Structure 1
Amino acid sequence: MRLFSLRICLALCLAQLAVCAVAQSGPGKGRVTVADAIEMTRLGVASYEDDSATDAALYSPDGRWFAVVLKKGNLRRNTVDYTLEVFRTDDALAGRGPARVVKMSSSSNRAAIAGVKWLSDNRTLLFIGETPGRIGQIYAYDLSSRRFTQLTHHHTPVAAFDASSHGRVIVFEADPPVTDPLASPEVERNGFYVTGENLAEVMLAGSPYAKYRSRDSRQLFLMVNGRRAIRMPAEDGIWPNLTLSVAPNGRYALVEALVRDVPKSWLGYRDRFLHEFVAAKKAASATSSVEQYLLLDTRTGIFTPLIDAPKSWEHDGFLWLNGGRSLVLSKAYLPLAEVSGAELDERESKLYAIEMKLPSHTFEKILEGNAKATEWVASSKEVLFEQSNRAIEAYQQRGAGWDKVAGMTVNPERDRPRVTYEQDMNTPPKLWITNPVTSQRVLLQDLNPQFRHVCFGMEREISWKATDGHWVHGGLYLPPDYQPGQRYPLVIQTHGFDPSRFWIDGPWNSAFAARPLAARDIVVLQMGGASGDAQYRSTPEEAPQQMAAFEGAIDYLHGKGIIDRERVGIIGFSRTVYYVAYTLTHSKYSFRAATLADGFNAGYFMRVAYPNQAAEPDAVNGGPPYGTTLSNWIEHSPSFNILHVKTPIRLESYSVAGVMEEWEWYSLLSTMGKPVDLVVLPHGTHLLVKPWERMASEQGNVDWFTFWLKGEEDPAPDKRALYARWRKLRTMEADQK
């Protein structure tokens, strides 16, 4: 699909879109709603949602079976329902459905089915399973007997795991026990000393919400041959979404951790972001934001650093070789100790792919640069690397070293049928299977047949010039019955555009609601990025550059006759809360309404409430808020310029502790008599999971922007109090003028 730009006559394109929209909105088709987004079936493995992903199947070692995990929200029960579907490969190629189906549901923020792994017997699947009322544990499912066996009986939820290929060695992470060490008879008598807690942790101590303290990292356990699991104490922090991998032979486990005591020598690495976090000040008891690989010896239970160097910030990639006797690390830093001269200079500034030999912890360089290790071909002892331009290179293990191989490596596993999860901006995802011999494609599953009766409107990719001159791209969602020449309200969703993805709400389930807003005759712009964004990250230029992109989008769309620039709304989520806050306090452009959802705002209160995270607000504001750099805060910080806000603000917080992040704006705007609304979802998580919480956030924003941009109210009886409050906010806004 071609990129729309200023050099293309947009008017002709929009006329074509109008024809498409009319065709979509035929008889019997309803307009899309937030419920459609929540109840949409999609792949249920987290890594698939991080990419546009195409490979959807998890094959058994012999290739005769494959598994697919799917999920969908259930609004009636407030659960997320998962299915593990297991196909015979030959049956799938013939168009037949799954041979085995496992169903589980989660009423928590955790997945009901996660971490699916085949064992080497080709009939056993391991996974974490959870149902309402029963916390997540590791299960084994035997395809032949269709029997489940619960392998763990841990007293807290199992959050992640991996196992050796034969299943006899299992390493798992579990949530720490729900305790409140600050609520005890001793504390009641003597009080307590603050030893690194942030303000939220202190305020929640002894309250019903003490369990939301996030100070304690996950705990790691080792289970061998089905015996009782033993805890493996780690000094460093084991947090969600970090690597946990057991060698195929079970001898070692690779564990990614956040370092508690960062070696000062690591200041020698020249990567700006790494240097920032190595240098950051923190409480002695807190973990840093610097990552390192640890190696767990499953025979001795001893942790050692895999390499005396931090893990790079990039998604690096690693592979076990020869059953687990060595590892290939890509995008790896090398140790700075005991080297000098040109070698030291290179190690400070470059990344490498290396083979790390075990148990000696000696390494061999394979290649220099950012290539990512993707595949180990055991038959030819070759590792395949993907370069930044997607080119594939093969390196072969020869004696003690590695040589680049000319030509493409043949891997028998690559001849398996490919199961793909296919979608684009305007096509909902479907599962296909392709025969590698005949290239014949068979539709495996239409995941959402109900969408045949839903009118989505159209999305197109566009690009425009920001007011500071740089180019930006994004996706433009048009109402289903879009009429060229009519000016529509606009809502800007601030980041994450991907032209290969079909989204109803947006890149994440929190706050964004693109197509439901478009269904209310509001044009929505899903912002992407610019090629130079990274150079401004964590500098005082980060927010001004993004503000210029928002302003340029308004100019561009208004100039093309698509929007009414006096009716513009904007939603910031996570990091982009800061961009929106900065824009609302520094831009001369008018915004009719805004949402700031669960994110970083670079404010003074956030800085003092979370001292261990001071590095980021200091970086974007040009230094700490005292001494010679105080004037930088007065100029840059949104909270120091909040007097300039003229926009009604909706604030969203997805935990009790998270209210700290929104409180500065809520308090200041309230005391100044400016319209502000704060909704707290006390049991949520940053990326909202549970259907009712998603509905509160996403539908709340549909109602909020429809009210402020169009003056419309939902007549539902349960929303009367909501609109009564918003009408009072509108009166407050009028009094400010």
Structure 2
Amino acid sequence: AYTLHHERPITDGKGSDSRTLHVYDRTSGRSRTYIGQSDQILSGLQWTPDGQAVSFLGRMGAGTGRQVWAIALDGGAWYQVTDAPYSIRQYAWQPGGEAIAFTATISRVPRRDPSLVRMGFDAEIFEEDDVSDIRLFLYEDGETTPLTQEGSVYDFAWKPDGSALAAQIAPQNRVDDSYMFKRIHLVEVATRKVTPWVDNPGKLGHMAWSPDGRYLAFVSAADISDPVTGSLFVAEAGQVVPFTSLTNYTDGFEGSVSYVDWLDHETMVFSAYESVDATLSQIKVGKKKRKILLEGGQAVFTSFSVSEVGIAMSANTAAHPDELYLYDRDEKEVSRLTHHNAWLDGIQMGKQEKISYQARDGLRIDGVLMYPVDYRPGERYPLIVYAHGGPESCIPNGWYTGYSRWGQMAAGRGYFVFMPNYRASSGRGVDYAKADHKDLGDEEFLDVIDGIDYLIQAGMVDGERVGIGGGSYGGYFSAIGATQHSDRFAAAIPFVGVSNQISKRNLTDIPYEDYHVHWRIWTYEDPMLIFDRSPVKYARNNQTPTLILHGKEDPRVHPTQSLELYRQLKLHGKAPVRLVWYPGEGHGNRQNPAQLDFALRTLRWFDYYLKGNPAEGDMPPMEVEYDLHLLKD
């Protein structure tokens, strides 16, 4: 069972994507649609315990928020499974039973008197009037029973015998807690007893029980300062031991684990990013050597689902976005099952490949390079550098085109698109991910410069027509390119990016994450270093036309970061600058008009300065032509 994302037509008004529900039949090789086009956002697909229906989370009725619904395999209308008094965040069926465990957000602050609010007494007390917990509940026979009373449960997994759950619990329902302070607990259903189990440090990812309930495998940071949930560990049920005594099954692994499950009682299977590729491997409990099931370069995926016949995954390649794939455990090969974007087969796309080069200190840097559609060897082309966010993420060699990732849209307009996995990226092991500690925006950015020089020296890129853009940490990189290294870039597009590391650290909703896995110092310990890595310090160097874009409700990188950059470039820069706000958007654009505006506006900016010959000080028109009459067709 799987869902398809459908973009909302602009002519239908402002909104987000919708999803439809489908089931693929391996016997016929066809998919059947069970819930078609609608405004619903379906999530959390699971099979009911008897395997005769697909359950999901949705707002299908007039009840309390999101509930669990289901639809039978033999068709018919969907039906409601839960009628809980709370809107459900996450759920899971009890193995072999009819009960459901679920989490919901419970406010700890009494609601204000609506009559006072209507009179204008609407003062907001920051953080204090938004205190809530994420509680774990059991829904059985129409009754809802709390399983936890303290802390916030961010993820959980049933023990196979249905007697208990492993739960990731943090002290508070705060973004920083969800990043840095989740620890594994055991929740016993019969007694409601909650016991700390694994004192994992720092970030925590997916976890899965072995079929016999003896082991819990989990993906975690290697230590408190590891930026990536990319190492694999196993805890034994009934044993509470220090985290440092657990075996790191990926110690020394030059990659990052993304997901784990079990093939049998003693064999784990895990997916990982290794450089720009996704791989699938298995390893036995107590052993150190893995067996690779699926080599890199065949498909890009993050998670998967294990069954008796194979391992299913939603995967993409350079030629198409996510489709349904199956790894056959007997044939030991992977195959694509669905073709939902057949229209792409007739589109000419730019060649895409992995590239590797040496940074100036000798470190190998990998990345993905997309060629212009009309590429002819021997000619030089303009280049767009797409800098990824994080920095603890990576660009895989798969489908990388979207509203904020120009990809094939830029290739079709005659650009090279260079996407480097600079030091501090994931996919290269723990040491590589930590390589920017206390050194943000320095050597890691020089990795980008060295990659540009590599392409120039190869005779592929025109060094006078290089642009840079990206969001979040990629926005930070773009601001560095527009200021400290402005002599290298003819256009820059920072999106929801950092411009002043001092004020950013004062305003972000993840201050502990920023401290533990990036800076390793507080600002007061070395304020000059923090400011030295701030683009606003170098605004006087600016000679790069800069388009700044930001969601007005961004809690991660406060919108004033873009305002600071804009103001400093207006005061001290020597090139055109424009600031665009997106009302109602946060750390990235969710609504369809904002996404379309971003794509059109940014590509026009690159075209204007990398392909045109504008007079000094000129900018593209303020308004964008959306061609809505074409979108109707």
Cα displacement (A) at 1:570:
0.7
User: What's the counterpart of residue 71 of structure 1?
Assistant: 5
Q: 1:137 to 1:500 in 2, by over 3 A?
A: same
Instruction: Give the counterpart letter for 2:345 in structure 1.
Output: R
Report if the CA contact (8 A) 1:666-1:677 is conserved: yes
Aligned pairs for 1:35-114 within 5 A: 67-76=1-10, 77=12, 78-92=15-29, 97-99=30-32, 101-103=34-36, 105-106=38-39, 112-114=41-43
Report what 2:184 is aligned to. 293
- Tell me, yes or no, if structure 1 residue 246 matches structure 2 residue 158: yes
Cα distance change of structure 1 residues 216 and 576 upon mapping to structure 2, 3 Å threshold: farther
Partner deviation per Cα, 1:96-128 (whole Å, 9 max, x = no partner): x23552235447xxxx22111112312022211
> Is 2:602 the counterpart of 1:701?
yes
Deviation at 1:492, TM superposition (A): 0.2
| Partner AA of 1:597 in structure 2 | F
Which residue does 1:535 correspond to in 2?
434
Q: Per-residue displacement from partner, 1:322-346 (whole Å, max 9, x unpaired)?
A: 3x5x5424467999xxxxxxxxxxx
**Equivalent residue number for residue 369 of structure 1:** 248
Max radius of gyration: which structure?
1
Cα distance, 1:524 vs structure 2: 1.3
Q: What are the superposed Cα offsets for residues 185-241 of structure 1, whole Å, 9 maximum, x if unpaired? A: 5999999897xx4xxx69xx9xxxxxxxxx555633524324243455654344xxx
Deviation at 1:292, TM superposition (A): 0.7
Partner of 1:485: 378
Tell me the amino acid that sits aligned with residue 72 of structure 1: H
Q: Which moved more, 1:590-599 or 1:77-86?
A: 77-86
1:589-625 Cα distance to aligned partner (Å, 9 max, x none): 4212212222444522222334861673798678544
Alignment partner, residue 4 of structure 1 = none
Provide the C-alpha distance between the structure 1 equivalents of 2:151 and 2:497, rounded to a whole number of angstroms. 26
Greater relative CO, 1 or 2 (CA 8 Å, sep 6+): 1
Checking the alignment, whether the CA contact within 8 Å between 1:603 and 1:617 is kept in structure 2 is: no
RMSD between superposed Cα atoms in Å: 4.7
CA–CA distance in structure 1, aligned partners of residues 61 and 409 of structure 2? 30
Q: Which residue of 1 aligns with 2:92?
A: 162
Q: Return the letter of the residue paired with 1:551.
A: I
Residue 519 (structure 1) aligns with = 412
Quickly say closer, same or farther: Cα 1:289–1:639, change in 2 above 3 A: farther
Could you tell me which amino acid in structure 2 is paired with residue 668 of structure 1? Q
Would the aligned equivalents of 1:70 and 1:82 in 2 still touch at CA under 8 Å? Answer: yes
2:539 pairs with one of 639, 642, 653? 642
Which amino acid in the other structure matches residue 26 of structure 2? Answer: T
> Equivalents in 2 of 1:436, 1:352: separation in Å?
24
Q: Secondary structure at the match of 2:78?
A: strand
Cα shift at 1:470? 2.6
Unaligned 5+ runs, structure 2: 224-230, 251-256, 275-279, 294-305, 615-619, 626-633
Classify 1:314/1:172 alpha carbon distance in 2 versus 1 (closer, same or farther; 3 Å).
Answer: closer
Of residues 631-640 and 386-395 in structure 1, the stretch that sits farther from structure 2 once superposed is: 386-395
Match of 1:667 in 2: 567
Q: Note the C-alpha offset of 1:391.
A: 5.8
CA deviation after TM superposition for structure 1 residue 159, in Å: 2.7
Structure 1 residues 593 and 370: CA distance shift in structure 2, 3 A: same
1:222 maps to 2:123: no
Q: Residue 236 of structure 1 corresponds to which residue in structure 2?
A: 151
Return closer, same or farther for 1:552/1:128 CA change in 2, 3 Å cut-off. same
State the secondary structure of the residue aligned to 2:180.
Answer: coil
Name the structure 2 match of 1:144.
Answer: 74
- CA 1:444–1:613 in 2, change beyond 3 Å: closer, same or farther? closer
8 A Cα contact 1:138 1:152, kept in partner = yes
Matched, 1:356 2:237: yes
Residue 355 of structure 1: how far off its partner (Å): 0.8
Separation (CA, whole Å) in 2 of partners of 1:376 and 1:522: 44
Partner SS for 1:558: helix
**Higher helix fraction: Structure 1 or Structure 2?**
1
The amino acid that maps onto 2:268 is L
Give the superposition deviation at 1:490: 1.3
Query: Is the CA contact 1:593–1:708 (under 8 Å) kept in the aligned structure 2?
Result: yes
Q: Counterpart in 1 of 2:612?
A: 711
CA distance in structure 2 between the aligned counterparts of 1:588 and 1:632, rounded to whole angstroms: 20
**Secondary structure class of the residue paired with 2:379:** coil
Do structure 1's residue 578 and structure 2's residue 493 form an aligned pair? no
CA pair 356-417 structure 1, distance change in 2 beyond 3 A: closer
TM-score by length of 1: 0.65
The 3 A distance-change label for structure 1 pair 536 and 333 is: closer
Q: Structure 1: which 5+ runs fail to align? A: 1-66, 206-214, 263-276, 336-349, 396-401, 714-718, 725-737
- Higher alpha-carbon deviation: 384-393 or 165-174: 384-393
Q: TM-score, normalised by structure 2?
A: 0.75
1:415-564 → structure 2 map (5 Å cutoff): 416=309, 419=312, 423-426=316-319, 430-431=323-324, 444-495=337-388, 498-505=395-402, 511-530=404-423, 531=428, 533-540=432-439, 542-564=440-462
Show the 5 A alignment for 1:338-349.
none
**Residue matched to 2:491:** 593
Q: Match for residue 384 of structure 1?
A: 268
1:678 paired with 2:579, answer yes
Greater shift, 698-707 or 155-164, is seen at 155-164
* Distance in 2 of aligned mates of 1:648 and 1:452: 37
Give the stretch that moved more between structures: 368-377 or 75-84: 368-377
Superposed CA deviations along residues 234-281 of structure 1, whole A, max 9, x for unmatched, are 54344xxx422233444323322333599xxxxxxxxxxxxxx9xxxx
Distance 2:476 2:517 in 1: 13
Residue 629 of structure 2 is matched in structure 1 by none
CA drift at 1:663: 3.0
Q: Do 1:602 and 1:621's aligned partners in 2 also have CA atoms closer than 8 Å?
A: no
TM-superposition CA deviations, 1:133-154 (whole Å, max 9, x none): 9953210222236342213346
2: CA distance, partners of 1:660 / 1:156 = 35
3-state SS in 1 of match to 2:7 = strand
CA distance in 1, matches of 2:455, 2:290: 50
Question: In the alignment, which residue of structure 1 is the partner of 2:101?
Answer: 171
CA separation in 1, counterparts of 2:484 and 2:329? 56
Deviates more, 1:73-82 or 1:471-480: 73-82
Equivalent residue number for residue 505 of structure 2: 607
The offset of 1:298, in angstroms, is 3.1
2:200 is paired with a residue of what secondary structure?
coil
